[in-house]
Chains A and B, each alone.
Chain A
């Protein structure tokens, strides 16, 4: 069997291993079948990459019917090789990806479990919310006020800005059409009805879901990951009344307020267009607003805001406690909480819209 001796450079490591590998593999693939002797006589140092090259060549050479033999390996080099040398070249086990039926089954199984979990969480929250009104000790002292400030008071500026812009744009888009028919004054009706019964509650809910729903989900998810929830449980404290109920209460308290505020600011936004573009005065505008708004619109607004508050808080709590993994899991939970909150809010808005539209019209 023909042999070829390859001299290995004095240092074999990260800096030159690719160069050496290229030379040797070229020889092996061009001159097979042969026995290649790697001469380590001049080698003074070897590192992980150097040893990896030997392991690599031991696997590579047989593919071309050749063998690799090492010679003149000093004690020092041999000792370093002992540390890193692969005892057995293994093929990493890779998990088989699930098939279509497995995926579908898994999806329905998870869906079933999720519905069950949400129902349990809902009943828990409802039970503990009721109980903690009569037994305030069940929730953290001052937590409802604290959460109300975080969710409500701190959100006033951004909600004011968004509501103003929505009212402004609604009026602007309709102004040109109304002007053609000399129906300038009806911009007040349009903005008032649209803001109070639809846009006010919806925009507030979307803002609160993005701002506070994400915060609640991230807080609870982080507490799960860092075992703080487990710590509460082993101290005999139920996390639902201790953590979630104050948030639900605070959100139910501040959402109607934020919605009423958003309605008012939105109407102001519409009024700016009415005054500047449609030449209306403040008083006729407000008279028209007051004449068109009935209790029904106000009740719709409040009922929607309360429903949305409950949806956002429960969805955020649900995704927060379902977290898996570490930092990445927290991110996923937070994203899911916001996306599903907004989705459920819009679904609920449609259902409530239909109920109020086809329901009793006189208040």
Chain B
């Protein structure tokens, strides 16, 4: 269905090709997963299928890409629209109209599908994706998972034979991600659609893939094979694979179910070991963050109600809960972006919404969901200099922090041209320049690959050990299990669970990391814990 013949893509002004020597053949009706670290050309590969590379992005493409027999050299993206459906990373930038039903029809209108056919297909798609209840709703009022489903539906109505998805579940909470993946499964199995998908959150998707295209490093030709074969050699892999490698299982299990069936012996071995010590939090006596019966309203909506939260120095707290549960609002309230409508809030010894910004940065720092919002300057060096000025720190402080968080961020680069990991490191350094004792992070691992994530985890651990109070809002259960001392689950603006990370994540399947699911009921959360426990034994 999709053929790459020795494809090399070089963008204008780039020294190295973004993709080189790619030869691929993806048969009809397969769910094919593209994996690899950040910056190896996954998005370029996907763009070449829909024709956006090079027609839209510019650059030079050697070789030939054919989709359903059509050569992308001679067919522009709009002429491929009836065979390839593309959904990008951000569903919001995909929408042309303002209501769900119009959006589903938009692609068909462009292709000139007959009105009664359009009507029938819209109804079918509404049912297929479970959107019938939402048909008249303005798109802006939908949740993230719903928007992602609408985006997928909007390309499905033209009955494409290939569906290209770039990180469809990265921004979604676990439940919404399940929703989207269930839809993709149905498409592949019931309609024979070929799905080509790139995703960093492998723990969510790898078990559904028929084939994996692994791009090991920039400029290296891809390796293609079954998911189990590829995961055995892949530099990026989900925890279930990590555990499988550790235990020496072959073939590697890809789903929790497979791993659980194999894990009997491992569970027995671990039963002999001492259960992992709860992450060593040495909480200081004084709470750095405290809210009491905090309520926040935005417009007429009560986003938070009666939230009691205390975070002490040296403690890391993960805030979890579905999209729209109020996690981000709670973090913004802690930096004074929203004034509480009732209750009290205190962070770093000040009342945030009554403190002047210049004073507040020394008490509490927030890395927002989109780190780029924090960055204004043209170059990394200028950004660091500005951060030193803002915080009144010694010149060079910020630059040293960037180097400590992530070595090798080029001085002269524009912040927009950095990779996700580099940008996060820069934003984190900018925030840390003022040495706030309280550090808040909103969804820090979105778009990060496993390597960048583990560097972030290591750095945050150091900060917590140095006495920072850290609060992170995240959908990433693996991150929470890895890092947090305490997990607080928000639902509908209220705290529904608050306790030690192990207890909370073990007690709710939705928030349990893969290792915990495999080794339940024993309280192991991460591959690292298991490795540590097994080490002296072997």
Partners in one complex: no
